[in-house]
Amino acid sequence: MMEQNLKEISQTYGQALWIVAGIFFFIGLVRLFFVLKTKSERNWLWKAKADWLVICIKCLFILGLIAFLADIPVWFVTVAQFRPVAPVGAHLVFVIVMFYIAIQELILSFTASNSLIKGFVKKMMFFLISVFCSASFLLAAFIVPGTYLYPSVNECVILELPVKGNWMAMHAGEEKWVNYHSNYPPQMYAMDIVKLNEEGHFFVNNGADSSDFLSFGDSVFAPCNGIIYQTVNGFKTQQIYKGEDTINPAGNQIEIELAAKQYLFLAHLLKGSLQVKTGDTVVAGQFLALSGNSGNTTFPHLHMHLQNKAILNDTNALGLPYRFKQMNRKRFVFWGSEENAFLIRNDKFSN
Ligand SMILES: [Zn+2]
């Protein structure tokens, strides 16, 4: 059997996006065709022919569609997982098609066909569909701003970045919509980050081997002053998408005690690369180890989190929020210099 690699997964994902976008576009065209065909039978809603129920239904639908339009870009910038895996072109086409459908529906919402206005059963069916669509779009609209909520500077431990160069957050933030770790209280606020090259890719060749990834073998630095609480250094490098070690999820790791009830974990490090041992004192910025692909991991990345108890798997432990003293960050379109910055999924950053 051929070995599955990340390039293949990326292509499949891209093709799926193109196909779904094509199907949606076709449905939109068919809808437009039938609307134009029945143009003469359609009524401008705010005129006398439409009764109050039809107007209510339409208002509900319009509200839902506006929420949907507002959600689309945010959803695709931050909520969508692993954005760099999908080819940029396919991603963009999908967003454009969604916009097209939503705008067309919004415009059509101001008119209604004769049969809709007169037939009771059709009217009720349309009412139920409108309630369903509006409720789901409005719900999404409530979720989306929530993904940008994060703890204030006062609540956060201020750290330095553990890496150098251009990186991206794949999972980060407070909400489970942008950070799968948040489902697990000790790893609330944990982040998984990957290094990017000049073109913004996080792997070269076909991504079948750990060495294809920019993060693999890159230097990891202490994000804070502290004492090394414990280290693990003997786990092998996993195969891409094959070797998730659920018994030793963190793989090779360094745990730093920053202060009372503050323990920082750096995980999935490269076997044999650790430069510190238990009891060592470290200062922020000190070289600690190389990033790797050990433990419960699908491809090379650096995992970092802060918790209030020393034992990694302590079910009573709680994840602590942190921010970074200084970084250059690109969230939507532009790069900006940020102080005390908090990362969320799909943020690109450098120091
Ligand atoms: Zn992680």
Tell me the CA–centroid distance for residue 309 and ligand 1, in Å.
18
Tell me the CA–centroid distance for residue 267 and ligand 1, in Å.
8
Pairing state between β 322-330 and 335-341: antiparallel
The residue ranking higher by pLDDT, 47 or 202, is 202
What CATH number labels 154-350? 2.70.70.10
Tell me the CA–centroid distance for residue 192 and ligand 1, in Å.
5
221 pLDDT higher than 80: yes
Tell me the CA–centroid distance for residue 42 and ligand 1, in Å.
54
- pTM (2 d.p.): 0.88
Band of residue 3 on the pLDDT scale cut at 50, 70, 90: low
Cα distance between residue 28 and residue 43, in whole Å: 20
User: Taking Cα atoms as reference points, which of 236, 237, 234, 282 lies closest to residue 255?
Assistant: 282
39 pLDDT higher than 80: no
What DSSP designation does 278 have? T
Dihedral Cα 119, 123, 126, 128, nearest 10 deg: -140
1 pLDDT higher than 50: no
Tell me the CA–centroid distance for residue 143 and ligand 1, in Å.
23
Tell me the CA–centroid distance for residue 27 and ligand 1, in Å.
39
Tell me the CA–centroid distance for residue 319 and ligand 1, in Å.
13
For the chain, the straight-line distance linking the first and the last C-alpha, in angstroms and rounded, comes to 42
Number of Cβ within 10 Å of residue 146's Cβ equals 12
Number of residues written out for the chain = 351
**Runs of H (alpha helix) within the chain:** 6-37, 52-74, 88-108, 114-118, 120-146
| Nearby residues for ligand 1 (ion, Cβ within 5 Å) | 192, 303
145 pLDDT higher than 60: yes
Token code pair at residue 245: 């070690």
Numbered ranges of CATH 2.70.70.10 in the chain:
154-350
7 pLDDT higher than 60: yes
Tell me the CA–centroid distance for residue 296 and ligand 1, in Å.
9
User: Taking Cα atoms as reference points, which of 201, 213, 202 lies closest to residue 293?
Assistant: 213
Q: In the predicted model, what is the mean pLDDT of residues 271-282? A: 96
Tell me the CA–centroid distance for residue 260 and ligand 1, in Å.
24
Q: In the predicted model, what is the mean pLDDT of residues 205-232? A: 95
19 pLDDT higher than 70: yes
Question: What is the DSSP track for 26-86?
Answer: HHHHHHHHHHHHTGGGEEETTSTTS-HHHHHHHHHHHHHHHHHHHHHHHIIIIISTTGGGS
Tell me the CA–centroid distance for residue 304 and ligand 1, in Å.
7
